[in-house]
Amino acid sequence: MASLYIKDPETAAAVARVAKRLGRSKTEVVRDAVLRVEDDLDKTEPRRNLIEWMREYRLKHPLPPPTGLEADKAFYDWLSGEEDVDDNIR
């Protein structure tokens, strides 16, 4: 079960007043208000497809070119400090 605790007494009181005036629960009032804000945001800033976002991000932030070095067990052992530095790994 999810919960939301409103720590600000003025906000909690305002939600309670609106809920009482509408004859609805505080949860319904908060949910409707948040969904209304979310709808407004979607109208001005539509949600983008994750794949499209990733493609755009990769174009702006490309991966570095391959080094040709092999990331083998010795390399990962060196990273974790389990082995001495191998002359081949730099």
| Each residue's pLDDT tens digit, 7-35 | 999 999 999 999 999 999 999 999 999 99
Q: What is the pLDDT of residue 75?
A: 84
Cα separation of 80 and 34, whole Å? Answer: 46
Cα separation of 44 and 38, whole Å? Answer: 10
Q: State the pTM of this model.
A: 0.50
Domain positions in the chain = 9-79
Mean local confidence (pLDDT), 24-51: 88
> In terms of C-beta density within 10 A (0-12 exposed, 13-18 middle, 19 or more buried), how is residue 3 classed?
exposed
